[in-house]
Amino acid sequence: MEKTKTNSERIYDLADRLIKFNLMIGSLCDLLIHTKEASNLKTQLQCSVSSAALNYGEVLVAESRADFIHKISICLKELMESRMALSIIEGRNLCKDRILAKACNGECSELVAIFIISVNTAKKNSSKNS
């Protein structure tokens, strides 16, 4: 029988997942073709993906419910930006490894979905307690 995870374990699973996603993106960026378009997307993508993970570190030590909502919303915004860049990279075939590009896009979409739920739940819980 599988042990049910605590909230604390799920929080750190998400942190680990964001770190692994950053590593995937690093590998993808190493395989982008050498064009100005790919170079611009590479820089933007690296910034947005690392920002999502680093801001999640701040989520873990939020000082208030409002601070938590604000910081987790920043994570979502950065992941949405990342998803757009990945969609362009995949659509324009800018990565030499199409399977990796597709995997990165899929992981980003899953993370976006998780963060949408998290933001909505936090806002809903905040309004209940007001």
pLDDT in tens, 24-43: 999 999 999 999 999 999 99
Query: What does the domain layout of the chain look like in residue ranges?
Result: 8-128
Give me the pLDDT at residue 36, please: 98
Rounded to whole angstroms, the Cα distance separating 12 from 44 reads 26
Give me the pLDDT at residue 8, please: 57
Span 8-128: which CATH code?
A: 1.20.1440.60
Helix, strand, or coil (residue 4): coil
CA dihedral 60, 63, 67, 68 (to 10 degrees): 30
**pTM of the model as a whole:** 0.89
pLDDT at 2 > cutoff 70: no
Alpha helices in 31-97 (DSSP H): 36-59, 65-91
